[in-house]
Amino acid sequence: MIKVLVALVGLIIFSLAVHAQSIPAAKNPKYNSQLNPDYNSSINPTYNSSINPQFNSSLNPEYNSFVNPNYNSSINPNYNSSINPKYNSSINPTLNPGVNPTLSVWTGFYIFNKKSDIIGVVVMTKQDILLSFNTQGKWNGYLAPNSQGGYNMFSAEGEWIGYLIHNSQTGYNLFSKKGEWLGFLS
């Protein structure tokens, strides 16, 4: 009963913490124009082709097998259990409360859509795996390093669904598996 109460209180605190009003101004693109792709073209892949996988083939998993988990088994959690939360309990938020933002203090990034609305958070783990949660604190995926400075994004079930590319400053841009720009991390 106490565990349920602690989890419920943690979820309530987490839900309150991810609303725009409580995002630190230094990480909030609505208050910090350096983080906002609408006001900072150097982090916007629409205006900066060097960070756009549709124009920079070295970043694009369709053209670079080193960053494509379908061709590089070392970055594919279906073949590398050390980067798969299903088999590595230290990076599994259902088994390790230290990487679950509803149950502990976390470090990582806020996830925003292209309109700068918050859509989730990404928690950093000690193994350089990032865990993705929606704004209600539900674990919805994880990101594994792709050996080129970015990350591949997988659903909680292990399906490859997208990737992150460093935005040339302090964050990342989020792309679908097909290369569509979806949002960014700050």
Expressed as residue numbers, the domain containing 180 is 2-185
Per-residue pLDDT of the chain (186 residues; tens, 9 = 90+): 444 333 433 444 444 444 434 899 999 999 999 999 999 999 999 999 999 999 999 999 999 999 999 999 999 999 999 999 999 999 999 999 999 999 999 999 999 999 999 999 999 999 899 999 999 999 999 999 998 899 999 999 999 999 999 998 989 999 999 999 999 999
DSSP 111-134: EEETTS-EEEEEEE-TTS-EEEEE
Number of domains in the chain: 1
Token readout for 186 is 């700050």
Beta bridge partners of 144: 152
Cβ neighbors of 87 (< 8 A, separation 6 or more) are 81
